[in-house]
Amino acid sequence: MKWRRHIRLLGIVVAVAAAQGLVLLVYRWVEHGRRDAKESTFQYERSPTKPAADLVLLHPDGSSRKLAELRGKPILLHFWATWCPPCKEELPGLLELGRELAREGELELIALTVDRDWAVVREFFGGEIPPEVMRDGAGSAALGYEVSNLPDTYLLGADGSIRLRFGGARNWRTKLASDTLRKELHGQRK
């Protein structure tokens, strides 16, 4: 009688463990499908055509220029900060892709730090700040673009309007990122 009770209890334990294993396998299968679906698209929000807020862009050498002066060429405007972990991870790939597209004459990249001190930015880059990195002269750029989280990236059309918004961190080193931007840029020229 005692053995029957132990065998029944062992059967229940094995059944519960098998059910948990099955649930775990289904969960992993669903998550794998979600990850594949997310990686098969480079998500963005298409903006209703509205003019981009003008900004005063400060360079590390103290010179400045207005964003409006760059009209006539698409701009990839990226908001980031040295203290933002996703920004730190994303920025190198964004700089690489931006430089590639700039060399090809496709767009201009502006990596606009929300940091208020060039010393912090200089330290972040190990001494030399890349030419694409600028600061917001008025200190209100993030408000004008309704940036709620960092990083946040906008594709501005050659006409100065906001076309796309890439909210949150992205892997800009992928072919999908490059293809998404190129498709949008080439569509603007038609």
Is residue 9's pLDDT more than 90? Answer: no
**Same domain membership, residue 132 and residue 184:** yes
Nearest residue to 150 via CA among 106, 100, 113, 189: 113
**Same domain membership, residue 70 and residue 1:** no
Decide which of 140 and 165 is more confident: 165
Query: Binning pLDDT at 50, 70 and 90, where does residue 94 land?
Result: very high
- CA 108 from chain centre, in angstroms, equals 17
Look at residue 90 and give its three-state secondary structure: helix
| 163: its two tokens | 């076309």
Q: In 10 A of CB 178, how many CB atoms?
A: 16
**Same domain membership, residue 86 and residue 167:** yes
Q: Hey, which of 30-39, 117-126, 142-151 has the most confident mean pLDDT?
A: 117-126
Beta pairing partners, 164: 46, 155
Provide the number of structural domains found in the chain: 2
pTM across the whole model: 0.76
Decide which of 1 and 122 is more confident: 122
- Containing domain of residue 7, as a range? 1-40
